[in-house]
Structure 1
């Protein structure tokens, strides 16, 4: 798998290149946006890791030009942690946005997940009955009232809503949300569903999350 890193900080760039090579990837490193854009147009990369603040050509403009010609996964890796920056990056076509300082293990996991699933452009918002989820703003409301969720709870609800009406097994949920093989001795999925129900369904007469005995879980307006 060939990956291009566009990163002007020498320490970060060299660290990423070394770590990804040790994990079996073929890696090129560009120090400027202009050089990185040239390499994207001249080579067949499977994924680009892109900084925002680059000399000559900022990451925003780099991804805008990439999207005019190529459709390949792009992960922003930036010190800019404002939610509006994240929203901007995703709206420009990024597949993920990771904030510095970062965990290399988490970055490599996100890379594997993106490469495994391929390029998927999802909806920004989902709605089931009076439950609404905004992916970019990481915001969930029901009946107009905002609901605070942990990161895993948000990922779980996002999965259930984008697959609304489908029955998802515990194995499917564990793989998508925790990137793990489901162990029958582990009740992590059941515990997470219980906590999610307490926040999303408990205060409402109309329940949206259903348990399908011996199979898994489903979210639907018909629940």
Structure 2
């Protein structure tokens, strides 16, 4: 799992990043909201830990962007104790809220709980545009009917749908769909992407797989 840590306080940023890495998470660090959004143009993350008080794009505004544009879960960090700030944070779309100072154990517990919830959707359903993917029955539905596809294609489509509209790197696709010990070449991904595109053109024309050159792919709704 990859986590984006955002804080203009370098001491706190280092503390959060270090604790997360020691637990086994991969961490991307940003010292501003602007830098965080720049990273997300080419990187895939599963959750963001965001400080509230930052110059420029503050934590509340960044949270709104992360939720609306990237569908990312967010934990907000603040040194303030006012209930109004908590209300504002949850109104912006944050999933949880931690008041500084906090124990590393508390942060790690909340990160784990949120990742578990987001990576196991309720009712095992993923929806992107007219496309609905049932993770339990392996059925794919749209307004045109029902579709069954080979398992690797299904796993690839489900991964793109789970991360949509984020870009998913080719390395992340290989590790998630084929496993870290995969011995094939990247052409395998290209072949599966081509097949999925052909299926979606006929089955769910409002949904498409976009290539982000040099990075990977993303699933997005057309129009």
More helix by share: 2
Residues 120 and 56 of structure 1: CA distance in aligned 2, closer, same or farther (over 3 Å):
farther
Q: Which has the higher contact order (CA 8 A, sep 6+)?
A: 2
Residues 103 and 65 of structure 1: CA distance in aligned 2, closer, same or farther (over 3 Å):
same
Q: Quote the residue 1:111 is aligned against.
A: 111
| Match status 1:3 vs 2:3 | yes
Q: SS where residue 28 of structure 1 aligns? A: strand
User: What's the Cα RMSD here?
Assistant: 1.8
Q: Quote the residue 1:58 is aligned against.
A: 58
> Equivalent residues in 2 for 1:130-169 (5 A)?
none
Q: Separation in 2 of the partners of 1:115 and 1:40?
A: 18
* Cα contact 1:73–1:119 (8 A) shared by 2: no
Residues 44 and 32 of structure 1: CA distance in aligned 2, closer, same or farther (over 3 Å):
same
Residues 97 and 120 of structure 1: CA distance in aligned 2, closer, same or farther (over 3 Å):
farther
Instruction: Return 5+ residue gaps in structure 1 as ranges.
Output: 122-223
Moved over 6 A (4+): none
Q: Quote the residue 1:17 is aligned against.
A: 17
Q: Quote the residue 2:30 is aligned against.
A: 30
Deviations 1:96-150 (A, max 9, x none): 01100111100100000111111799xxxxxxxxxxxxxxxxxxxxxxxxxxxxx
Q: Separation in 1 of the partners of 2:85 and 2:35?
A: 23
Q: SS where residue 72 of structure 1 aligns? A: coil
Deviations 1:178-215 (A, max 9, x none): xxxxxxxxxxxxxxxxxxxxxxxxxxxxxxxxxxxxxx
Q: Separation in 2 of the partners of 1:65 and 1:116?
A: 22
Q: Quote the residue 2:146 is aligned against.
A: none
* Cα contact 1:52–1:60 (8 A) shared by 2: yes
Q: Separation in 2 of the partners of 1:38 and 1:102?
A: 28
Q: Separation in 2 of the partners of 1:82 and 1:73?
A: 22
* Cα contact 1:5–1:27 (8 A) shared by 2: yes
Residues 57 and 120 of structure 1: CA distance in aligned 2, closer, same or farther (over 3 Å):
farther
Q: SS where residue 8 of structure 2 aligns? A: coil
* Cα contact 1:72–1:119 (8 A) shared by 2: no
* Cα contact 2:3–2:28 (8 A) shared by 1: yes
Q: Separation in 2 of the partners of 1:88 and 1:12?
A: 22
Q: Separation in 2 of the partners of 1:116 and 1:72?
A: 13
CA drift at 1:10:
1.1
Residues 56 and 120 of structure 1: CA distance in aligned 2, closer, same or farther (over 3 Å):
farther
Deviations 1:21-71 (A, max 9, x none): 110000011011110122234321000000011122111111122223111
